[in-house]
Structure formats: C-alpha cells, structure tokens
Amino acid sequence: MSASQQAVMRSHRLTPEQVPETVVEQLAPVEREALVARIKRLLEQENATLVAHYYTDSALQELADATGGYVSDSLDMARFGSECPSDTLVVAGVRFMGETAKILNPEKRILMPDLGADCSLDIGCPPEEFSDFCDQHPDRTVVVYANTSAAVKARADWMVTSSIGLDVARHLTERGEKLLWAPDKHLGRYIQEQTGADMILWDGACVVHEAFKAEGLAALLQDHPGAKVLVHPESPAAVIEMADVVGSTTQLIQAVAELDADTFIVATDNGIFHRMRQAAPGKTLLEAPTGGRGATCVSCAHCPWMAMNGLRNLAAVLESGSNEIQVDPAIAERARVPIARLLEFARSHKREVLGNNDA
C-alpha cells in the first residue's frame, strides 16, 4: 500500500473503552445439571438444534455434541444448519455468525443466547464507511473476511475464511485483479505477504489476537524449548513469524492432534482448548502471552462477546423464542452472492471451507 493510500485510512481498531469486560458464567454443579437437562428438553420440544463455535464455553460445546448439534467455525456452522432438518437453529457465538446462518437458511428461525454478543472486527467495519472506502477504489475486487456484518458482505465481491483466503487471493491475483481487503489488517497482511497480491487493507483488528506479544512468547519458549507454537493469522506479524503452524481454528486443532510434540503454545482464543484436549488428550496446552513490552491486553485470550453465551441465557431464549436474528431480505440477497462464490470456489477446488476465528 502506498503512503498516500495509508494516509486516508483511519484506524478502525477498538479502544479499551469499547470492549466489554469478559465475564464467564459461573455455575454450581447442581444448577449446571438442571440447566443442561432443561435445555435438552427444550431443544426437542422446539425442534431446535444447537450449533456452537469453538470459542464458546466448553459446557455449550459439550451440549451441542450431546444433542446432535454441531461445534465448528462460523461458516461451517451455517452450512450444517442448511443440512439439518430442524426448524430452529440456536447459534452460540457472535452476531455475524447468526446473520450468516440466516442468510444461508432464510426459511429457518435463528436464535442467539445474547444479541449483544458482537465482534470487534464487525464493530470496527461500519457498513457506510466501508462502502465509501470501496467507492474510493472502484478498480479493486472487494474481499471481506467472514467476521463482518451482513451489510458489509452485501458490498463485497467475495467472502473468505482464514483457511481459504490464501487460495482465493492467489486465484484473483492470477486473473490480474487488485484487491481491497477488510476488516482484519493482520490477516490481510499475512495473505498479502504469502501470495504477493496487490491489496489495500482496512485498518481493523481482533481484540483477542492483537493482544498476543512476541516478547512474551519468546520468554515462554525459553521455559518450554520443545514446545510447538500454533498461531491464528489474525495475530500480529511478529507473533506469526514465531509460529510452527499458522492456520485457522480447525487447522490448529488438527496440528495439536498430528504434530509429534507434547507441549503447544496457542495464540488464539482459549475457548479452543476444549476441542484441542478432545483431539489430543494428554498433551499440554499453554496460552500465548498477552504481556510483555507494549502489552495492551484487553480480552486476555478470551473474547468478551463469546463469553456472553451461557447455559442460563440459552435456556431463556429457548423458552421465550426471543433474540431471533433478522436480516433485511434485500441485504441478505446481496450478501448471499459473495458467500455462494466462496462455496463454489471451494467445491471446484475440492477444498473444505473451514477456519473462521474464527471465526
């Protein structure tokens, strides 16, 4: 990106004041058991299926598995919803995930435990400002990450996930296209460096991944010299440079299971540890540090919006039918285009579309 292009792009990264406190639901065993039993009854009664993201509380992931639901990344959650026969999907995750599920499953009722469960990347990419930015660069193909609102997706040519972003960027570059990328600048820079694509980057960042610090990671590696470092590409470049594996949520889970190592330092939301422990029982998992010189830890390795999902509000939503996701039909129709383009690309290239921080 040229200096002049950088000058017109203001930062859209959130300030600490814009990020809510991370509050993880605390339940006594008796209440937890009662809520799980209640939710199971309600899911059956409402012909509903629970889909949960890797970053949500382990109790929600276990409940989804136990009731015929699904645990994965956001796009794969939405795709599963298209295949399951339930009339209602309950999406335990953040708001853009519920919107994506509604876009791909317009005939279904989509509920969420908390409609206030947002995403720093989504918040940091206001649709009107983003549309204006696109208008400034009409010669560029607009590529957006899955972690965006339906309105932003409606302005895009392509949507990508972290696992397939490299392939799409290479494909478009081979066609001679120049790209406009949003919203995560770290993921965008990683894709740009790996593919050589001509890209203008929106200046947004995930509050969880941006907090990881290379200095603290180097110190932790000194204490655990045999550890493998697993990094999600929404992390800063200095952290990515230290990685043994850079990949999506699903790819990082696979790495823990497949690599010949006993200890892993993981630079992504610590909600993923539940699935990693299932995939590789007995292996040691360490959180990548969010401390060190220049530390600005706000979320401290767990998304405050993901933490808004719990058993209590899940039960309440199933009982009341509240917190239903609505997407304007005109916006949904336009947003479906870049998503469908991605799915067709994945099919034609025989690729699984996994790895949103993702989400």
pLDDT at 203: 95
d(Cα 12, Cα 206) in Å, to the nearest integer?
10
Categorize the per-residue pLDDT at 21 as very low, low, confident or very high, splitting at 50, 70 and 90.
confident
Q: Report the candidate in 116, 88, 357 with the shortest Cα–Cα distance to residue 247.
A: 357
Give me the percent of the chain exceeding a pLDDT of 70.
Answer: 92
d(Cα 272, Cα 331) in Å, to the nearest integer?
32
Q: Tell me the mean pLDDT in the region 159-186.
A: 96
pLDDT tens-digit readout, 211-244: 999 999 999 999 999 999 999 999 999 999 999 9
Evaluate if residue 279 carries a pLDDT over 50: yes
Residue type, 233: P
Chain mean pLDDT for the chain: 91
Evaluate if residue 209 carries a pLDDT over 60: yes
Of residues 276 and 8, more confidence is placed in: 276
Phi, psi of 107 (to 5 degrees): -80, -10
pLDDT tens-digit readout, 300-338: 689 999 999 999 999 999 999 999 999 999 999 999 999
- Number of Cβ within 10 Å of residue 188's Cβ equals 28
Categorize the per-residue pLDDT at 299 as very low, low, confident or very high, splitting at 50, 70 and 90.
very low
Q: Tell me the mean pLDDT in the region 37-45.
A: 98
d(Cα 68, Cα 273) in Å, to the nearest integer?
21
- All structural domains of the chain: 28-116+311-320 (3.40.50.10800), 120-205+333-359 (3.40.50.10800), 209-302 (3.40.50.10800)
* Angle (CA) 279 165 251, round 5°: 10
pLDDT at 3: 35
Evaluate if residue 63 carries a pLDDT over 70: yes
Evaluate if residue 293 carries a pLDDT over 70: no
Of residues 349 and 168, more confidence is placed in: 168
Cβ(252)–Cβ(228) under 8 Å? no
pLDDT tens-digit readout, 124-139: 999 999 999 999 999 9
- Number of Cβ within 10 Å of residue 114's Cβ equals 19
Evaluate if residue 55 carries a pLDDT over 90: yes
d(Cα 346, Cα 331) in Å, to the nearest integer?
23
> For the whole model, what pTM was predicted?
0.90
Phi, psi of 306 (to 5 degrees): -60, -35
